[in-house]
Amino acid sequence: MKYLITESTAKKMAFEGIKDVMNELNLYRKTFDSFIIYAFSDENDFVGDSVVIEYDSEDGRLYVQNIYFQNVLSLFGFTTNEEQKELFSDWFKYYEGIRPEYVDF
């Protein structure tokens, strides 16, 4: 059985998939100086790979370790870097109310 869904519906479903992954990873949302950070630890150590998503309001950069989200991205057909960057930019705008200047992996 085939289902046709609109691009906007697929995007919203992908947003929910991103949130589900973040919940499964048990990420903590923190603000620090000019940053919004989603990390494994609720401490302010931010060492190594503990930061999964980081937004810097000074330069408008959204950094994402997209390796954690590959299943969601491929499930909804976001396979190229440009598609993935657009999705995360739209996701961040949807959940945080901020449009990043650019997305970096």
Tens digit of each residue's pLDDT (9 = 90 or more) over 4-38: 888 888 899 999 999 999 999 999 999 989 999 99
Query: For the whole model, what pTM was predicted?
Result: 0.89
Residues forming beta bridges with residue 103, ordered by sequence position: 62
Q: Please report, as a single letter, which amino acid is at residue 88.
A: F
Query: Could you tell me if 38 and 27 are in contact, meaning their C-beta atoms sit under 8 angstroms apart?
Result: yes
Return the pLDDT at 48: 61
Residue among 93, 95, 28 at smallest CA distance from 60: 93
Provide the residue type at 26 as one letter: N
